[in-house]
């Protein structure tokens, strides 16, 4: 079997991490050095043209997986928003204090198929949040007649990550300082057969949501903010 360069680099990182072993085993939680996180308080229920729609479920947790997810995630937030045109966006945010390998956030590529969805397409994309390019992923998912395109991004510590190799590199950098990073996954989705339209509205929603979050909390959702 021929390995790609990416596979070789990832294997090398894993071997390096294993060889260093206990000498680099982190013991300090980065979250304990940062302000406490409270997703419900940090994310507004109304912003721009969007308002939380009460009594609507954006539930993504399979009850059979609930125990596992509660072990992985320190906090989760699910809300449904609607604009004045009646378009609905489902927001799901998962936060984990401990992003070690056994407790790392589960990506939608894992969660959706576990609930019976098929992933029809996956593309990398870039969001413009607070004037900064944020690497994200678009997934086109289907469950029978339900077409649910979604956009999501990950932040590990203060770094946006787009792949397993990115995350391992970030983990290694934090390990060198004796720290265990926390992590957050932000996902927005909508039930829409017009996939490109869904992605466009999701980009707009994400930009308005981040703009509405208090400035002192924004880096928890989009990583380190670079000032010009």
**pLDDT tier at 61, thresholds 50, 70, 90:** very low
What does pTM read for this prediction?
A: 0.82
CATH number of 26-222: 3.40.1000
* Cα–Cα distance, 172 to 14 (Å, whole number): 9
What is the model's pLDDT at position 63?
39
Rounded Cα–Cα distance for residues 198 and 76 (Å) = 23
Query: CA 170: distance to chain centroid?
Result: 15
d(CA 223, CA 155): 6
- Over residues 70-124, the pLDDT tens digits come to 667 788 899 999 999 999 999 999 998 887 655 466 788 888 888 889 999 999 9
Least confident of 64-68, 76-80, 109-113, 199-203: 64-68
Secondary structure E strands in the chain: 28-29, 46-47, 50-52, 75-83, 88-96, 118-129, 132-143, 146-156, 159-161, 179-180, 183-189
**Cα–Cα distance between 218 and 31 in angstroms, integer?**
15
The closest of 198, 203, 188 to 126, measured between CA atoms, is 203
């Amino acid at each position: 079997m021929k390995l790609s360069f990416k596979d070789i680099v990832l294997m090398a990182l894993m071997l390096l991490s294993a060889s260093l072993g206990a000498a680099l085993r982190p013991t300090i939680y980065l979250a304990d050095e940062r302000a406490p996180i409270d997703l419900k308080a940090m994310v507004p229920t109304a912003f721009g043209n969007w308002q939380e729609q009460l009594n609507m479920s954006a539930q993504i947790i399979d009850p059979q997986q609930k125990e596992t997810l509660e072990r992985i995630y320190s906090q989760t937030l699910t809300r449904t928003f609607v604009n004045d045109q009646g378009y609905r966006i489902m927001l799901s945010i998962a936060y984990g204090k401990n992003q070690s390998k056994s407790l790392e956030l589960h990506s939608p590529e894992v969660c959706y198929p576990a609930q019976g969805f098929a992933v029809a397409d996956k593309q990398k994309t870039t969001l413009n949040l607070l004037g900064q390019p944020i690497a994200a992923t678009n997934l086109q998912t289907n469950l029978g007649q339900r077409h649910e395109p979604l956009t999501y991004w990950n932040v590990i510590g203060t770094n946006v990550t787009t792949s397993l190799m990115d995350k391992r590199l970030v983990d290694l950098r934090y390990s060198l300082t004796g720290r265990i990073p926390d992590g957050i996954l932000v996902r927005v989705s909508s039930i829409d057969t017009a996939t490109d339209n869904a992605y466009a509205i999701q980009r707009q929603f994400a930009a308005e949501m981040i703009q509405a979050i208090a400035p002192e909390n924004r880096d928890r959702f989009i990583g380190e903010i670079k000032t010009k």
